[in-house]
Structure 1
Amino acid sequence: MSIDTHVYTRVLRRESHDSRTAPAVVTASLLALLLGALLVLGIWMIIDERVATGVAEFLSGRHVAFDVGGVALGGGIILLLLAILLIWLALAPGRRDRRSRSTDRLAILVDNGVLADTVADRVAEAEGLDRSNVSVVVGRTRASVHVTPTSGVALNPESVREVARETLTAAGFVSEVRVRIAERGVVS
């Protein structure tokens, strides 16, 4: 393996996976806001003794107009849900709808939508259909082809599957192909 191959691998991985920057920035911003509020409250308690007395009474549980246990339970539930969300964001795969491949000389990154359009164009051309009658969705492991034939013209699902498979193979991205042909055709 050359140095370029390692670079290609790193770049393709970075471009095919979502960044975790947004959740990290939101979490850091919330923590900075909370710490800033605590700093302002601490300074305010030093300046004004009535605030310090009010905070002391609140923390001791005297002269509180609401249930401290209920507030603590609600806050705990909110923090638990936030923790579960952040753990899920950290562990979820975060893949983008892109496929990649590389050789010693180049690296290719293709959006699944581009592959789907290519397969749809090729199927429409091979079967003699209008392009608007063919829709394709390319996923990570399979491609799904939906064809609406012209009324009175029968289509062979195997020929559609073979054209789609050949197109994906020619592009270098092999997938399982599922074909669905609509029962009712359209008038041309």
Structure 2
Amino acid sequence: MSTPAYRRIVRRETHSPRTVATIVVAVLLILALLYAGVEIVLGLLAQPPLLVSPGDAAAWIVGLAGAQPAGAVIGGGVVVAVLGLVLLVLGVAPGRLPKHEMAVDGRAVVVDNGVVASSLAQRISEETGILRDDITVGVSHRSVDVTVRSGFGDPYEVAPIAAVVDAELERYALVPAVTPRVRVTSPPERRESR
């Protein structure tokens, strides 16, 4: 396999298609056009409209700006503009799946963010002796957030944990690269029982 084939495979596995958004928009447009067609046919046959006749709808739209309060017209325009902007962003921006590529020589390797988080938490536990249940790891597209809950007594040092995280992430060689953030939280205060 050549490099362009790898790139295509990795992109297909790490980006979501816009199929659902496209289908929803297409179905809504088809329904709107179907309704308009039925109303036009009913108008041509001199039958009463289902909701409103095409002529009345056109007259209402033309007179909308003068008949309605300016705030309502502006609000409606803003809602339509935001909807259009959302559809434009959905159509242009790539959708990302919660996965990363691992830079491995000669192979296309895609790994789920949950697997990276679990593996990283396990490595931190093995290297530092911290209980696995006290480590929480979150992996997003550009960052890794590691939270270690301290037990009672002396809190854990951030530097050794950060060193393990950095070494493990360097070994994974994730593409795109992620920025780690390590936090150590103090234990909750004990309540005295009476």
Counterpart residue number, 1:87? 88
Confirm or deny that 1:117 pairs with 2:111.
no
Read off the aligned partner of 2:135 and give its amino acid letter: V
CA distance 1:77–1:151, shift in 2 (3 Å): closer
Percent identity at matched positions? 28
Read off the aligned partner of 1:81 and give its amino acid letter: V
| SS across alignment from 1:177 | strand
1:90-101 equivalences under 5 Å are 90-101=91-102
Counterpart residue number, 1:105? 106
Uncovered stretches (5+) of structure 1, i.e. residues with no partner:
none
Counterpart residue number, 2:29? 31
C-alpha separation between the residues in 1 aligned to 2:54 and 2:180? 68
C-alpha separation between the residues in 2 aligned to 1:186 and 1:123? 25
Counterpart residue number, 2:149? 148
Q: Answer whether contact 2:134 2:148 (CA < 8 A) is retained.
A: yes
Structure 1, 32-41 or 73-82: larger mean CA deviation: 73-82
Please state how far the C-alpha of 1:80 moved relative to its aligned partner: 2.6
Confirm or deny that 1:178 pairs with 2:145.
no
Q: TM-score, normalised by structure 1?
A: 0.78
| Cα RMSD, aligned residues only | 3.1
C-alpha separation between the residues in 1 aligned to 2:28 and 2:19? 14
Q: Answer whether contact 2:113 2:140 (CA < 8 A) is retained.
A: yes
Read off the aligned partner of 2:115 and give its amino acid letter: V
C-alpha separation between the residues in 1 aligned to 2:17 and 2:8? 14
Counterpart residue number, 1:137? 138
Read off the aligned partner of 1:183 and give its amino acid letter: S
CA displacement, residues 118-139 of structure 1 (integer Å, 9 cap, x when unaligned): 1111111222122110011123
C-alpha separation between the residues in 2 aligned to 1:86 and 1:57? 29
C-alpha separation between the residues in 2 aligned to 1:150 and 1:118? 22
CA displacement, residues 71-96 of structure 1 (integer Å, 9 cap, x when unaligned): 99476555333212211222334222
C-alpha separation between the residues in 2 aligned to 1:125 and 1:150? 17
CA distance 1:161–1:41, shift in 2 (3 Å): same
Task: Determine which structure has the larger strand proportion and give its number.
Answer: 2
Counterpart residue number, 2:170? 169
Q: Answer whether contact 1:5 1:103 (CA < 8 A) is retained.
A: no
Please state how far the C-alpha of 1:154 moved relative to its aligned partner: 4.1
Read off the aligned partner of 1:39 and give its amino acid letter: G
| SS across alignment from 1:116 | helix
Please state how far the C-alpha of 1:161 moved relative to its aligned partner: 0.7
Q: Answer whether contact 2:121 2:136 (CA < 8 A) is retained.
A: yes
CA distance 1:121–1:43, shift in 2 (3 Å): same
